[in-house]
Structure 1
Amino acid sequence: MELKQRHLEQASQQGLLTPEQVSPLWNYLQSLPPDSASFRATHILFYLGGLIAIAAMSLFMTLSWNAFGGIGIFLIACGYGVAACLVADWLLWQQRQPIPAGLLAALAVTMVPLAIYGLQAKLGYWDASHTEYRDFHRYIDWRWLMMELGTLLFGTILLWRYRLPFMVMPLAVVLWYLSMDLTPFLFQNDDYSWHHRQQVSMVVGLLMLALAFYIDLRTRHTLDFAWWIYLFGLMAFWGGLSMQHSDSELNKFLYCLINLLLITVGGMIGRRVFAIFGGMGVAGYLGYLAWDLFQDSLIFPFILSLIGLGIIWLGLLWQRHEAKIQHQLQRHLPAAWRELLAQRR
């Protein structure tokens, strides 16, 4: 049931509250951030409509948009962004609907790089006959950095205003793009290779993960604002790590150990996304052993099957003693992290 002020007045009439307590209590309840509702069928429509609108104004824009000219694109993006913010205001503060409000606010964030692109095109920064906005989502180019940094700035301001977790998604995507576009910027006067790209991606990914850890701690008493940054931070770090090439068996084994470490970290902090990426890395290493190092070995399939069965057995043991294992792992964490995990549970 949705709580209304009249409910408090009725409680006052029944002697449960004094008349003087009604207004202060109502004002306090109004100041609280909206709770995230349980997932229902209507939420599918919310997310489907919101993601279609976001994709339409980002991924699916065509070269024909250049017909509007730079100033036209800028004004359209600003108009969309302002309208999305106004509707998000109404949905969040008047209708108490945080999910569609978060989607509209995220749409406003995705308008920022489009607006910057239009302004740059007006100033002659882009060659409109050869560059279209959707290339921003397809090609690596250091010239996108202005759009990415501007999106991070304005998106952070909007996130501070609305404080809705889904708004972090476009910011995390832009940070992921930044991890790729930084390489040609840093090495634009020199030759750079895929190795440089991988190294920059790993460093930016680690910085994103550190930011996610920090956000997780700071918001441990509120909503989950860190999930999207964990996801794209791992994509940047794990992607750069997994594309590394080395002929050293030791380096390949270290790669497997790093992925095992990701799985362990995921278990310690309660983030399954770490286990997913770590599991893919371990599976990739085992695949390498099967198809390359032990390609002609008759005994390796038997050994690998035993390893697989052993992992299943470990999973059963983990399930049976999960609470005890997590307690043993988490007791080494700082008190703030233990408090965070208790809040998440």
Structure 2
Amino acid sequence: MHLTIQRDVFMQAVQDVSKAVASRTTIPILTGLKLEAHADGLTLTGSDTEISIERLIPIEEGGIELIQIQRAGSVVLNARFLGEIVKKLPTNEVTLEVSPNFMTRIESGQAEFHLNGLDPDEYPRLPELSSERRFYLPADLLKTIIRQTSFAVSAQETRPVLTGVNFSAEKGFLTCVATDSHRLALRRARFETDNDLTFQNVVVPGRSLNELAKLLDREELPVEIVLTDQQILFRMKNISFFSRLLDGAYPDTSRLIPEEYRTAVRLNAKDFLQAIDRASLLARADRNNVIKFVAEEATTVEVSSHSPEVGKVSERVSILSLEGEELKISFNSKFVMDALRALDASEIEIQFTGSMRPFILRPVEQDSVLQLILPVRTS
């Protein structure tokens, strides 16, 4: 392999695919990136067997030549060293030349590196997905869905299926749900498809989605999403992002969402978030960050916290309306702040079904997104 490439383009591609490279692995070749030069350009691949990212740098883009390929070929180079080297090269023109024993010369200006390479034939092959189960989502919508759900996945491996976001589709709508058994995040969105697509129990690891979200900032075209029984592929302009799916049946969370409520409070989301943030300063992390919420008046609610070792805080927050019964409830302040940030709404409604039942937060007059939180039992 022998080629000349623009440093900034090469560096961005290396950074993109390196997101899939594990810092620790028992398979030495997976510490590397596979580089393959061919007639269409240079393809870079990174993988840790759970996530795989493939990025194409075309010969030219927008009328600008990005690569000159003198000789096709491939090699696997250590991802960390390659990334550090490319980042610090002195000029924007980089030459890569691979010898028959995979020793790779990287030259830029007066700097010249020789990096030991590995046999690309030993690198795991990416799956070829040709499933009929495919649909399309705008990149910005997909990123919003990830932001509004993935934070609620479980961090505990005791129930692996809960470390992912459950995707299901019916009648042109995608529903994404995440829960760690103490809270639940749900987002619905309409999608585009070439056929009548219906599926359920497609559980994508939360880590995969968070890494995918980092690649979506530069995307403007719709993202193609392809499903098989064990893999999901997110295909963008020059990037293919593969993730394995989690095994196991995702719990039926629909029965957890109350259909009726006894108390409904409407308020300004920013004011409420800031009040909870202040009250949480005295909430003990080892005691579930408990905040007490009291709704007894038509114009304000009380938010308070008490720690015997530190002190107490109380604040009244103006509300837009109170409907139904008076209420006293305690909850985890972190869960509520996470939910409010994910909703990204100026005005929200909180619906309660009792002091010891799950409650719902949702934007006013919008039913595509909701957050559900279990209260905390206090003595």
> If the length of structure 1 is used for normalisation, what is the TM-score?
0.17
Give the helix-richer structure, 1 or 2: 1
Give the strand-richer structure, 1 or 2: 2
